[in-house]
Amino acid sequence: MHLLETNKLTAFYGDFQALYGIDMLLDNGETIAIIGANGAGKSTFLKSVAGLIRGAADSVLLDGTPIGARPAADIVKLGIALVPEGRRLFPSLTVEENLLIGGYGRKAAGPWTLDRVYSLFPILRERRSSAPSTLSGGQQQMVAIGRALMSNPRVLLCDEISLGLAPIVIADIYAALPQIKVEGSSVVLVEQDIVKAMKVADRVYCFQEGRLSLAGPPRDLTREQIHRAYFGS
């Protein structure tokens, strides 16, 4: 049995079909990366897993349990947390309140507490009472990740956590990944930076226009294969 599995997952925005039958696997302790061009459906996939877009119950399985039809507020309690695209911090909450609300629905005790998040991202401790809008982009991304961790997720979904950040800041954020994995989260990364994705992922999935165009461990994939899967033709 896999930790997380999607079965012929489809997703719609009204009449528009954004995903066509995505099959994906994630096992305990793994990191997988999803790559693909703009509009390929990467964010839609994460939103479907997180319950913001609901589908058939058995299109998403967590530990073999069908959860595809459950609402987002239930999904996070079951152990899947999403770091949304664009960070989307709560502007009227302080940094610390943003972190605290991340643990709002949590049921079981787990490794992640305010203190543990602050030791992962020490700068946040200094900025704990600030409004998120006064933080740098990198610091905001740290809050978004910390907020998701506060639910003690077994699966952490990250949507373009490096977008718009300077390379040195990206390195800082990626440096947190091993610690996050040590604490027991498996990770799904959506990443525009293919090189970065190949470096950290156990397996890479490439989306193209709502379909899976390629999947496999980075070492098995050639540049040509990836190029074709990414751009088509």
Question: One symbol per residue from 77 to 106: x for binding another protein (CB under 8 A), - otherwise; what is it?
Answer: x---xx-x---x-xxxx---x--xxx-xxx
Query: CA–CA separation, 74 vs 180, rounded Å?
Result: 22
Residue 19, strand partner residues: 11
Q: Using the minimum distance from each CB to ligand ATP, give the nearer residue, 85 or 172.
A: 85
Query: CA–CA separation, 198 vs 30, rounded Å?
Result: 13
DSSP states of 98-144: HHHHHTTT--S--S--HHHHHHHSHHHHHTTTS-GGGS-HHHHHHHH
Q: Does 229 bind another protein (CB under 8 A)?
A: no
Q: Report how many residues bind Mg ion under the rule CB under 5 A.
A: 2
Q: Binding Mg ion by CB under 5 A: which of 5, 18, 40, 43?
A: 43
Q: Using the minimum distance from each CB to another protein, give the nearer residue, 79 or 210.
A: 79
DSSP states of 77-94: HHTEEEE-TT----TTS-
Tracing tokens 């543990």 back to the chain, one arrives at 116
Q: In whole angstroms, how close is the CB of 157 to ligand ATP at the nearest point?
A: 12
Binds 38: which of ligand ATP, another protein, Mg ion, none (CB < 5-8 Å by kind)? ligand ATP
Residues in contact with ligand ATP by CB under 6 A are 13, 16, 18, 36, 38-44, 85
Q: In whole angstroms, how close is the CB of 116 to another protein at the nearest point?
A: 18
